[in-house]
Structure 1
Amino acid sequence: METKEILNLVTEACDDKRAENIVALNMEGISLIADYFVICEGSNERQVQAIAKGIQSTLEEHDLEVNRIEGMDHARWVLVDLGDIVCHVFHKDERDYYNLERLWGDAPYVSLQIGSEE
Structure 2
Amino acid sequence: MAQLTLDKKGDTISILDLRKISSMVDFFIIITATGETHARALADVVRKKLRDKGIRNWHLEGYSYGHWILLDYVDVVVHIFMEEERKYYGIESLWGDAPMEKIV
- On whether the aligned pair clears a TM of 0.5, the verdict is yes
Looking at secondary structure, tell me which structure has more strand per residue. 2
Q: Which of residues 13, 16, 23 is equivalent to 2:7?
A: 16
| Residue 62 of structure 1: aligned partner | 53
Corresponding letter in the other structure for 1:58? K
After superposition, what is the alpha-carbon deviation per residue over 1:14-68, rounded to whole angstroms, capped at 9, x for unaligned? 1122110001000012122210000011011100111111110010121211111
* Structure 1: distance between partners of 2:69 and 2:11: 15
Normalising by the residue count of structure 2, what TM-score does the alignment of the two structures yield?
Answer: 0.92
| Residue 31 of structure 2: aligned partner | 40
Corresponding letter in the other structure for 2:69? V
Preserved CA contact (<8 Å) 2:13 2:102: no
TM-aligned CA distance change 1:91 to 1:59, over 3 Å: same
Are 1:103 and 2:91 matched, yes or no? no
TM-aligned CA distance change 1:77 to 1:30, over 3 Å: same
Corresponding letter in the other structure for 2:96? G
Percent identical pairs in the alignment equals 32
| Residue 26 of structure 1: aligned partner | 17
Deviation, structure 1 residue 111: 6.7
5+ residue gaps, structure 2, are none
- Segments of 4+ in structure 1 off by > 2 A? none
5+ residue gaps, structure 1, are 1-9
